[in-house]
Structure 1
Amino acid sequence: MDKTRQAALKAAYRQQAPALGIIALHHVPSGRTLLERSRNAPGALNRHRFELNLGAHRNARLQADWRRDGEGAFRFELLDAVTVPDDPAFDADAELDALLALHQEQLLEQGQARY
């Protein structure tokens, strides 16, 4: 691949907007789940992992489970991604709020514990 093509691909990658969506951190042994909406889902997952490894996560119960069971006891995932249309009237925050409420309701229906 020539350098011009490689530079163009890198520039196009940098201009992509991060994935919007609903993320989940599952503690497998307890079944507890942390749900969160994010305008940068990959970045939010990285932030949670970083804070947990640092021992400074804002959710004390989640941090305690991490300390006790380690990273292997957790699943980090993007549950739902939002595709942003070209419509300027599209409200991404409202869409994320609705998706988060839907996933929270599903957890309640399934009887799963939450953080």
Structure 2
Amino acid sequence: MDKTQQAALKAAYRQQAPALGIIALQHLPSGCVLLERSRNAPGALNRHRFELALGTHRNARLQADWRRDGAAAFRLAIIDTVRPADDRAVDADAELDALLALHRAQLLEQGQALY
């Protein structure tokens, strides 16, 4: 691959929209889960990791579990995504809200504890 092809691939990568989706932070010992929707799911996961590592996470219970058990006791993942629509009439935020509600309902139905 020559430099022109590499530059074209990098430019195409930068043009891509970030993944819209649902993220989950699960405390493995307790099974407790934090669900969140995001228009930039990878960025949201990075923000959570950063805040937890700094000890400044906005969810005090989650932060306490992180302090006590460490990063190895957690699974952070993008659990579902929404494909960005070419049609501007499609409301991506409404789709994310509906998907989040669906995942929350499923977890609660299974008796899963949520942060």
Stretches of structure 2 that go unaligned for 5 or more consecutive residues are none
How well do the aligned residues superpose, as a CA RMSD in angstroms?
Answer: 0.6
Deviates more, 1:35-44 or 1:78-87: 78-87
Stretches of structure 1 that go unaligned for 5 or more consecutive residues are none
Q: CA deviation at 1:45?
A: 0.3
Q: CA deviation at 1:25?
A: 0.2
How many matched pairs? 115
In structure 2, the partner of 1:105 is 105
Partner amino acid for 1:88? Answer: R
Q: Deviations 1:26-47 (Å, cap 9, x if unpaired)?
A: 0000110000000000000000
Within-5 A mapping of 1:28-43:
28-43=28-43
> 1:78 is paired with a residue of what secondary structure?
strand
Within-5 A mapping of 1:12-31:
12-31=12-31
Within-5 A mapping of 1:33-112:
33-112=33-112
Q: Deviations 1:66-103 (Å, cap 9, x if unpaired)?
A: 00000000000111100012112110000000000001
TM-score (norm 1): 0.98
